[in-house]
Amino acid sequence: MTLSSGILAGCVNGRVWVRIEGKGSHQNSRELKAFVQNQVETTGGQRVIVDLSLCTGMDSTFMGMLTCIAGRLDDIGGSLHVIHAAGRNAELLRGLGLDEIFTVDDNEEHLNFAPVPECAALPQEDCSKAERTEICLECHEALVAADERNAAKFEDVIELMRGERRPAMAR
């Protein structure tokens, strides 16, 4: 049986749509990255819309992945737009200064009308501990790069991930 990642996704007219059901976390950040990367490469989509209307919370790795994606999109002239980020999710994103990196809307106030595609559940893929460590490190370093005030918040996580990476690299 294939497990769902909690991410529903689709693409229409070069717009990549992603809806998070449940928690956005280190457990589904890889699937988010892979889907967006694939859609950008195959469809030329440069606008990614992430809908948090069904999202019950986010961890720092997931928010860091949004930051990584926003940076990659910016490099190609694209953009990331988070919608329905009201309440705690909006507080988390704005508290890390991410609203300076990508658009964070409580509803859809900055979203020009765009048809929502049919979205399908992304499967949860197996991920090695080494790969999860690399993803976690990349995401937390992106949060620090996004806002220097995040350095103190994530220095312990970054050191831990770097420490876990060293033994794997020595093998």
The percentage of residues in the chain with a pLDDT greater than 90, rounded to a whole number, is 70
Q: Per-residue pLDDT for 111 more than 80?
A: no
Q: Per-residue pLDDT for 167 more than 80?
A: no
Mean pLDDT score of the chain:
89
- Domain of residue 109, residue span: 4-125
Q: What is the domain count for the chain?
A: 1
Q: Per-residue pLDDT for 63 more than 90?
A: yes
pLDDT tens, position by position, 121-133: 898 888 889 999 9
- The domain that holds 8 is classified in CATH as 3.30.750.24
Q: Would 112 be classed as within a structural domain?
A: yes
Q: Would 98 be classed as within a structural domain?
A: yes
Q: Would 71 be classed as within a structural domain?
A: yes
Q: Would 99 be classed as within a structural domain?
A: yes
Query: What pLDDT is recorded for position 116?
Result: 75
Comparison of pLDDT for 89 and 112, the residue scoring more: 89
Q: Would 75 be classed as within a structural domain?
A: yes
pLDDT tens, position by position, 65-90: 999 999 999 999 999 999 999 899 99
DSSP string, 49-112: EEE-TTEEEE-HHHHHHHHHHHHHHHHTT-EEEEES-TTHHHHHHHHTTGGGTSEE-SSSTT--
Q: Would 24 be classed as within a structural domain?
A: yes
